[in-house]
Structure 1
């Protein structure tokens, strides 16, 4: 079964045509690395996939459900199955690490926001939160405020919060962009280990091409709102990926020849 299926997706912001007939499929349990220069439409695609932004044309199917035909309550229910790891962590800085991880359960029907507060959380929730922190190596920081942690540690907290969500799909939008190279590699190692253990589906955007060569099952490249490269990771060369960041490139100039032989609009 396909975890994510996108067909002929278009998105405009005013006169700006951001996504231009984009089509892709991601199988359950697959890890896909998405590459592309700033402004190519990666973030817009991510927002469309988790329902934060509506698309203008085409179809998005997540875990068998078409976003176009879902009511708002059904969309909220589906979004609980999609965990998001952000570049800027999106943690509440002045509360504890433990509380931030508990917030990951607030979208689950039987819990909710009040039930995910540390002072009201059930024994089950508290145990799950500590287990999630243990998994990311931060159980000893449970009672520290998030603002006291390093960037790498805060991203570990964000991953632990996603584990609390019990998501089936992880969308990671440049999760290591604000980290130094050593911390970035540690976070990627952790993230991919966790999703492998739980057999989750992952779509992760990266800018670090050397790291992109080390992670995931497939490399997908975007340029000017289109998919121009889609190939197994082991078969893509660094020089091929670098072409995604060059201007005025046509699709038929990108190798290997696994892309459509159509003109690529310029950025």
Structure 2
């Protein structure tokens, strides 16, 4: 049967992040994608100019409609916005035993805040305990823990374990915000693994977090174990970043190339 993944996230009118990036990623990796829209944003590669959250009851109705009919193998959660939507999503998903990848989206690549500060507590209390894989970047991990940003691998390990103690089965501490020629992602769970790649010199990295978490969900929907799903997603994202400059989309932080293996060079 066809693997099916569901994204619960905000819409990016520029197409580089959010549900647009998630659905592209699902398709590129051979998975059928369904979506639940939590918010609509007016944004492009330069800035987010407006955000409108959907009513929590509409978000919950979308989740019910999808899960009532489709055999969803994995769920990715991205931008949620406010605490009411967070609680509604958690309540809607609690009865299901579906692998859940939680990307704690807080700030856009442009620097615009996408998660209300008061919603961080709701995210921590209601969704972290449901997560199969939590995928924070270093600033997001620090905000969830109310600690300074991890400055070295030892601090990343310590913060990752602290986040894991809040409920997620696995925590992927992403290293994109760190320094150095090598980018390292640290996966912590039943065992630990490090995924490394040369840091690519490009400004076109819009949607990297969304794409990575969606790619992990795609792997889980295909029946991969968590470590294998993360490994596949890491490889896919690195190739999407390496091909990003060939797209030439927008005048700011352009998107990664989701269809790098399919479109002609």
Please identify the structure whose Cα radius of gyration is greater: 1
Pairwise TM-score range, normalised by the shorter structure: 0.3 to 0.5
Higher relative contact order (CA 8 A, sep 6+): 1
Superposition TM-score, scaled by structure 2 size: 0.34
Superposition TM-score, scaled by structure 1 size: 0.34
